Amino acid sequence: MTAPARNQSSATPPDIRSQQQVARMFARRRRTDTRMTVLLWSAATVAVLPLIAILSHIVSVGISALTPSLFVRTPAPAGVAGGGMANGIAGTLMLVLFASLIGLPVGVGAGLYLAERRGTRLAATTRFVADVLSGLPSIVLGIFVWEVIVRPSGQFSALAGGVALGLVVIPMVTRATEEMVKLVPRVLTESALALGFPRWRASLVVGLRTAMPGIVTAALVAIARAAGETAPLLFTALGNAFWSVDPTRPIAALPLQIFSYAQSPYAELRAQAWAGALVLLLLITLMSVLARSVLRARRLLLHSAVPRAGVDDG
Amino acid sequence: MGDLAHAVSQPVVVAPSIVVRDLTAAYGRAVALRGISFTCAPGSVTAIIGPSGCGKSTLLRCMNRLHESTAGATMDGQLHIGGEDIHDDHINPIALRRRVGMMFQRPTPFPTLSIFDNVAAGVRAAGRPSDTVQSIVERALQRAGLWAEVRDQLHGSALALSGGQQQRLCMARALAVEPSVLLLDEPTTSLDPVGTQRIEELLYELRGSMTVVLVTHNMQQAARVADSTVFLLNGALVEQAPSRLLFTTPSDPRTEAYVTGRFG
C-alpha cells in the first residue's frame, strides 16, 4: 500500500486523502466485512446443523407413529399390531422424579457449601469428587447401584433406577450451583450479615435466591440428561413391558424402550422407537418450558410495579 | 445528647459511645490498621477521612465484626460500644450486628426481594412477630424519607428504583432493625448531588438518636454532617478533632496537606 501523498501546504491537515483512496479503503473494509460475516455464519451453521438435522429427522420419522394410543397403551406382544409406550412415559417421569428428589437437594446443598466455604480442605475434596463423578461413564454408575441396591434387595426397581440417575444429576448440579452462587456479589451477602443475618440465612436468602435462575437452568440440563440416560438403567430399573408404577418393581423407561424397539425386526416397533424419541424430546422441552415460565412469572410478579415518572431522584 | 423531638416519634434507643483502643487489623500479613485509638461521643456523627487504602473501610468493618468474616483477617486491640468490648467471647456477632447497622458504598438491595421484603429482611431474621412487620417497615421507610415514593409499589422489585432511592431503601432496611449505631461506608459515592443531599439530610435527622460513623472521600460532606472527624493515613490515626477545627486549623501538617488537597 502506498503512503497517501502528503500535502505540500502546512495550512491543510497532512493526512487528507484523495477521494479515490478513501473509496479504495472502504471497498477493502467491505470485503473484509463480507469475508468475516460469511466465516461466522458458516461456523454457526456447522455448529447448529447437526442439531437441526437430528431434530428434523426425529420429527419427520417419529410423527407418523405418534398416535394417541402411543400415550395410553402399553406395548403389544411382538407381532401384534398397535400398542404404545404409556408405561415407558410414566416410568421415565417417575425415574426423573426420583432422580430430582435425590439429586437436586444433594447437588444444590453441596454446591452452596462449595461456594460458601471455598478454601477448606473438605471443599477441595468435594469439588474433586464431584468432578470425578461427572466424568464417570454412566454404565459404571449403573453397576455401582446394582451392587449396593439391586443385589442386596434382590430385585431390580424403579427406586434403584432413580438413585442411578440421581448420581448423574448430583455432580452437574453441584458444580453449576457453586459457580452461580460465586457470581453473587460479595457485598450482597455482607449486607445480609450486617443486618444480623446468621450465616446460613444469608446463604439461603441472598446467595441461593439470587443465583436461582442459573441453578434452575443447570438443574434442567441435568434432568434432561438424566431422562435420556440408558446405561445406568440397564442394571437398575431394567425395563418392564407392562404397566407399573410400583417403585419397588422393575419399571419401563423411554430410553430403554427406544433401545429395544430400535433393534426390533418389526417395522412398526422401529417406527414406535422414533416416536418414543420424539416423546422424550417433547417431555424434556415441556419440563424446561414449565420451569422457565415459573421463574418468569415470579420475576414478572416482582417487576409488576414500574417506577413512577417524576419521582426518580438519583 | 438526646434530641427530644426525635425521641418522641421514635423508639427510645440509647445511643452508645464508641471507644477504640489500640486497634490493629490485618488481612493475612497485610496490616490495614496500626494501633488506632479514638472515641465517638454518644449520638454524634463521626467522619473518617483519608486517602484510598488507608484502612477506613477496615475500621468500619471491625465495628460490626464483619472484618472477621473475611478469610485470613485478624484484629487486635479493644473496641467498646456502649461500654462493652464487642470482641469479647460472650458477644454474639449476629446480635451485635442488629445493634450496629451498616450501609455500603453502592446500593445493595436484595435483587430477588420486593421493596417491602427488603426492608423486612432484617426484622424477620431477628425473629420479630410477623404482625408487627408491616408497621415496622412503614416506619422505617418513613424515617428514610422513601415512604411517599414507594407506598404504591411496596411489592414491586427493589431494582426498579433509582440509585438514590435504592440507597435510601438500604437505609430503611438498616433502620428497620432499630440499631443504635449506624456505619456508613461512602454511602453517597455512587449517587448524584440530589441523592447525596437526601442522605445527608437523613444523617442530620438521625443525629442524637444514634451514633453514626461515616467513611467518606468527600471532605465537604465530612465538614457538613460530622461533629467530629478522624483522619487516617496508611493505617494510622493522624488526628481526631471537631470537624470545624480539623478543616480550618488542623494541628498536624499531614492533615493540612490532605484537607487542602495537596495529596490523596
The dihedral over CA atoms of B229, B232, B236, B237, expressed in degrees to the nearest 10, equals -20
Facing B160 at nearest CB: one of A187, A205, A305:
A305
ipTM of the complex: 0.88
- If one compares B88 and A295, the residue with the highest pLDDT of the two is B88
Mutate to test the interface with A, among B61, B66, B86, B112 (most CBs of A within 10 A): B112
Three cell numbers written together for B216: 467518606
Q: Is A196 left (phi over 0), alpha (psi -120 to 50) or beta?
A: left
Cβ–Cβ under 8 Å, residues B138 and B84: no
Point out the least confidently predicted range of A11-15, A254-258, B145-149. A11-15
Q: Which residues, listed in sequence order, are joined to residue B49 by a DSSP beta bridge?
A: B231
- Give A-chain residues touching B113 at CB under 8 angstroms: 205, 209
B171 touches A: beta carbon within 8 Å: no
Under the banding of pLDDT at 50, 70 and 90, the label for residue B13 is low
For B:54-113, CB contacts with A below 8 A are: 64, 66, 69, 71, 94-95, 97-98, 101-102, 104-106, 108, 110-113
- If one compares A217 and A29, the residue with the highest pLDDT of the two is A29
Residue range A183-225, pLDDT digits in tens: 999 899 999 999 999 999 999 989 998 898 889 888 998 999 9
B192: nearest CA partner in chain A: A314
Statement: residue A259 has pLDDT above 70: yes
| Average pLDDT rounded to a whole number, residues A22-34 | 94
Residue range B97-106, pLDDT digits in tens: 999 999 999 9
Residue range B83-99, pLDDT digits in tens: 999 988 899 999 999 99
pLDDT at A310: 33
pLDDT at A81: 77
Under the banding of pLDDT at 50, 70 and 90, the label for residue B130 is confident
The per-residue b/e assignment along B218-246, b for 16 or more CB within 10 angstroms, e otherwise, is bbebbbbbbbbbbbbbebebbbbbebeeb
Please give the Cα distance from A220 to A284 (Å, whole number).
8
Average pLDDT over all residues of chain A? 87
pLDDT at B6: 45
pLDDT at A233: 93
Under the banding of pLDDT at 50, 70 and 90, the label for residue B5 is very low
| Average pLDDT rounded to a whole number, residues A145-160 | 94
- Give A-chain residues touching B192 at CB under 8 angstroms: 314
For A:184-203, CB contacts with B below 8 A are: 185, 187-188, 190-198, 201
Please give the Cα distance from B162 to A310 (Å, whole number).
11
B112: nearest CA partner in chain A: A210
pLDDT at B53: 87
- If one compares B155 and A311, the residue with the highest pLDDT of the two is B155
Statement: residue B2 has pLDDT above 50: no
Average pLDDT over all residues of chain B? 89
- Give A-chain residues touching B198 at CB under 8 angstroms: 313-314
Under the banding of pLDDT at 50, 70 and 90, the label for residue A305 is very low
Under the banding of pLDDT at 50, 70 and 90, the label for residue B17 is very high
Please give the Cα distance from A89 to A256 (Å, whole number).
11
B160 touches A: beta carbon within 8 Å: yes
Residue range B29-78, pLDDT digits in tens: 999 999 999 999 999 999 999 998 899 999 999 999 999 888 889 999 99
pLDDT at A19: 86
A311 touches B: beta carbon within 8 Å: yes
Mutate to test the interface with B, among A118, A181, A195 (most CBs of B within 10 A): A195
Greatest extent of chain A over all pairs of C-alpha atoms, in Å:
99
pLDDT at A145: 95
> By CB neighbour count within 10 A (0-12 exposed, 13-18 middle, 19+ buried), where does A243 fall?
middle
For B:6-65, CB contacts with A below 8 A are: 64
Q: Smallest CA–CA separation between A194 and chain B, in Å? A: 6
Portion of chain B with pLDDT greater than 70, in percent: 94
Residue range A261-293, pLDDT digits in tens: 999 888 888 888 999 999 999 998 888 888 888
pLDDT at A32: 96
Statement: residue A6 has pLDDT above 70: no
Return phi, psi of residue B182, to 5°.
-125, 125
Please give the Cα distance from B225 to B3 (Å, whole number).
16
Portion of chain A with pLDDT greater than 70, in percent: 89
pLDDT at A301: 63
| Average pLDDT rounded to a whole number, residues A100-110 | 96
Point out the least confidently predicted range of A11-20, A129-138, B81-90, B163-172. A11-20
Facing B174 at nearest CB: one of A188, A195, A302:
A195
pLDDT at B9: 46
| Average pLDDT rounded to a whole number, residues A64-87 | 85
Facing B162 at nearest CB: one of A192, A197, A314:
A314
Return phi, psi of residue B42, to 5°.
-55, 135
Please give the Cα distance from B35 to B58 (Å, whole number).
13
